[in-house]
Chains A and B, each alone.
Chain A
Amino acid sequence: EPEVTQTPSHQVTQMGQEVILRCVPISNHLYFYWYRQILGQKVEFLVSFYNNEISEKSEIFDDQFSVERPDGSNFTLKIRSTKLEDSAMYFCASRGQGSSNQPQHFGDGTRLSIL
């Protein structure tokens, strides 16, 4: 069964540095998402992306965050200047074309640790 893959599985970065989290969605999917989960807390929606533009974003997704689909396969989340509170698990998800109630398929996540 096709999977969403994320790299790296764990990234440690110093505060103030830029970080890029990478995701390869399922190949025929067209809708892409990023979520984060701070340790011990619930999964929070960050942003959704379709047709090469952001379709929706949450309050968390401020000017420090950006997303990009640089080629036909990758979907990246960039944090420009990381803060300690950005430490979390970041999950990428994708879903196929069709009705909006199709479930999203999640990657295994990238654990981001900010020192």
Chain B
Amino acid sequence: NAGVTQTPKFQVLKTGQSMTLQCAQDMNHNSMYWYRQDPGMGLRLIYYSASEGTTDKGEVPNGYNVSRLNKREFSLRLESAAPSQTSVYFCASSTVSGNTIYFGEGSWLTVV
């Protein structure tokens, strides 16, 4: 029962470096999401993909890009990392109705 799997679990980047966070789900869900979590801020939506072939900006999209590679996979890319992007990133997926969202275990990213 893998559910939502995201990699890497931990990453340290230097300012200006780029990286991609990978996410895959095996629940045949249409919708996928990327959130970031910062202390006291709850979860904020970065980008989402309502269905394969579509992506839309969430609440905090600046500095990120996404790719819905296929129905299973949704990647998040930081083209030029900044210290403000130090955070915990969660990938999630849901059915189209989105009534229940399932989260991955998180990726801890530090930008120095």
A, B: real partners: no
